[in-house]
Amino acid sequence: MFTLQPDLASIILLSLLALFVAIQVAYHLNIYGRFIKKTEHNESDYNWQGVSIVIAARSEYDNLQKLVPVLLEQDYPNYEILIVDDASWDGTTGYLEELEKMHPKIRGVFVTEEMKRNYQGKKLALSLGIKAAQNDIILLTDADCLPNSNQWIKHMVRPFHQSAGTEIVLGYSPFSKQGGMVNIISRMDNLYTGMTYFSYAMKKDPYMGVGRNLAYKRSLFFKHKGFASHLHIAPGDDDLFVQDAANSNNTEICLHPDGFVFTASKSNFGDWFSQKKRHNFVGKYYKFNHRFKLGMMALTHGLLWLTFIANAFKPESFGWAISLILLYWAIKWPLVHLGFKKLKQSGMSLWIPIFDVLYVGYNAVFGLVAVFGKQKKW
């Protein structure tokens, strides 16, 4: 297995494997290395600016009953809650009308089916909510989410106070721990996605955010004409807006656990797959440099494992190939573990080797969706 005189084919396969291992290791050290060193500054002596929490809710009566009390308990001196009833058919409308009477912090914005007839997704609802907001800092979440603490607003807003140039703050929204393989897949995917968009933002190259936990200036929203450039696309109210509005100087991140917003994952593979198709569909609308960077890392990762498998058919080189893979894992595993630990999910590190292989198929399938997928009804 460790012959010193492999044939030409073995040398070529080993050289390719070594190249892809080197690319992947360099990528992880360069991208995630910054992320794991990130520290949070928790100064609290600011003259806190007003904040408008905006939530688009389409028939979310049950979820709003859980979320609203948590939002009302936020430890923040000046904020309002705008809930946009996005043409709901359950008890959401009546519930919002009652909330408006009971709580001065809450205001409802009501969208009818007629109003959204020519719009898919929630971009119209969000646009109307942001337009109705009274404060310049907009903090977004979804009705099926729950902030991790009553300090959520402060942690998400703090970067705006730490730097006058900050216009966008990217937050993290983990999936709650539940039973089943779909939940594990969802959490692993979410962890890698979070680590990646945080790391790129730290490198002054932000490319996406997640609307379950995202903040930006209302003035920035109108400066870029809201979602106008991608209003014809149902998804993308978060990442495509970040694509339009984020730059090397105006984007910061929030990594404090008290600033996280939790949500439940899908419960079956069919719903999960449909959700991922919808999210990956917008990838084709990313800027070329982001498509290229993300695509090349997925491609070289897939080629790494394909060349390793090819070496398995060459006894002269397979032992050396195993050594290269062990070296790859020896560097990647601790690095990713530290990233998971920073996102308070270090227990998921046990799944890293398994998912490293599974991601070959995952990236192939959803890469094709991103390139060739067509928009379907939201």
- pLDDT(109) > 60: yes
Tell me the pLDDT tens digit for each residue of 190-241.
999 999 999 999 999 999 999 999 999 999 999 999 999 998 888 889 999 9
| Rounded Cα gap, residues 81 and 100, in angstroms | 10
Residue 4 reports pLDDT greater than 60: no
C-beta separation of 281 from 375 below 8 A: yes
Cα–Cα distance, 259 to 375 (Å, whole number): 33
What whole-number distance in Å separates Cα of residue 43 and Cα of residue 62? Answer: 36
Distances 113 to 118, 120, 132, 254 between C-alpha atoms, Å: 10, 11, 19, 36
In angstroms, what CA-CA distances link 189 with 194, 195, 211, 340?
A: 9, 10, 16, 12
Question: Looking at residue 282, what is its pLDDT?
Answer: 85
pLDDT of amino acid 378: 44
What are the tokens at 21? 């291992």
- pLDDT on residue 118: 79
Whether residue 329 is predicted with pLDDT greater than 80 in this model: the reply is yes
Rounded-to-integer distance, Cα 144 and Cα 149, Å: 16
| pLDDT at 121 (0 to 100) | 84
CB 13 within 8 A of CB 314: yes
Going from the C-alpha of 281 to that of each of 258, 286, 299, 358, the distances in angstroms are 31, 10, 18, 20
Token reading at 160: 């705006």
pLDDT of residue 266: 87
The model's pLDDT over 47-84, given as tens digits with 9 standing for 90+, comes to 899 999 999 999 999 999 999 999 999 999 999 999 99
Question: What is the rounded average pLDDT of the residues 291-310?
Answer: 94
Residue 341's pLDDT band (boundaries 50, 70, 90)?
very high
Percentage above 90 pLDDT, the chain: 71
Averaged over 311-320, what is the pLDDT?
A: 85
- Tell me what pLDDT residue 376 has: 53
The 3-state DSSP class for residue 145 equals strand
State the pLDDT confidence band at 314, using cuts at 50, 70 and 90: confident
pLDDT exceeds cutoff 90 at 317: no
pLDDT in tens, 123-182: 999 999 999 999 999 999 999 999 999 999 999 999 999 989 999 999 999 999 988 899
Residue 43 reports pLDDT greater than 80? no
Q: Is the pLDDT of residue 100 over 80?
A: yes
The first and second tokens of residue 314, run together, are 């060459």
Chain centroid to Cα 347, Å, comes to 20
DSSP-assigned states of every residue in 266-322: PSSHHHHHHHHHHHHHGGGGS-HHHHHHHHHHHHHHHHHHHHHHHHHT-HHHHHHHH
Alpha-carbon gap, residue 175 to 184, rounded angstroms: 9
Contacts of 13 (CB under 8 A, 6+ apart): 307, 310, 311, 314, 317, 321
Choose among 261, 237, 233, 252: nearest CA to 378: 233
